[in-house]
Amino acid sequence: MDNAVNNEKIKILSIESSCDETAAAVVENGRRVLSNIVISQIDEHKLYGGVVPEIASRRHAEAITGVVSEALEQSGTKLSELDAIAVTCAPGLIGALLVGVNFAKGLSYASGLPLVPVHHLRAHIAANYITNPDLKPPFLCLVVSGGHSHIVEVKDYTLMNIIGKTRDDAAGEVFDKVARTMGMPYPGGINLDRIAENGDENAYKLPRPKVADSPYDFSFSGLKTAAINIIHNASQKGENVNVEDLSASFRNAVVGCLVDNFLKAAHDLGYKNLVIAGGVSANSLLRKRLSAECEKLGYSLCMPELKYCGDNGAMVGAQAYYEFKKGRIAPLDLNASATMPISFFNT
pLDDT for the residue 6: 55
d(CA 102, CA 266) in angstroms, rounded, equals 39
pLDDT value, residue 185:
92
Share of the chain above pLDDT 70, in %: 98
DSSP 128: H
pLDDT of residue 212: 87
pLDDT tens digits along 320-343: 999 999 999 999 999 999 999 999
Cis bond before residue 187 (omega within 30° of 0): yes
Q: In three state form, how does the secondary structure of 273-291 look?
A: EEEEECHHHHCHHHHHHHH
CA distances from 278 to 60, 120, 124, 170 (A): 21, 10, 5, 12
Q: In whole angstroms, what is the distance from residue 12 CA to residue 14 CA?
A: 6
Mean pLDDT throughout 44-72? 95
- pLDDT of 4 > 60? The answer is no
By the 10 Å C-beta count (0-12 exposed, 13-18 middle, 19+ buried), 307 is classed as middle
Give me the residue spans of the domains in the chain.
5-130+308-345, 138-303
- CATH code for the structural domain at 138-303: 3.30.420.40
Residue range 196-212: mean pLDDT, rounded: 95
- According to CATH, the superfamily of the domain at 5-130+308-345 is ATPase, nucleotide binding domain (3.30.420.40)
Is pLDDT above 80 for 234?
yes
Sequence-ordered list of residues with C-beta below 8 angstroms from that of 233, at least 6 positions apart, any chain: none
Topology match between the domains 5-130+308-345 and 138-303:
yes
pLDDT of residue 1: 41
Average pLDDT, the chain: 96
Residue 266: the pLDDT is: 98
Residues 172-202 have pLDDT tens digits of 999 999 999 999 998 899 999 999 999 999 9
* Total residues belonging to the chain: 347
In the three-class reduction of DSSP (H, G, I as helix; E, B as strand; rest coil), residue 186 is classed as: coil
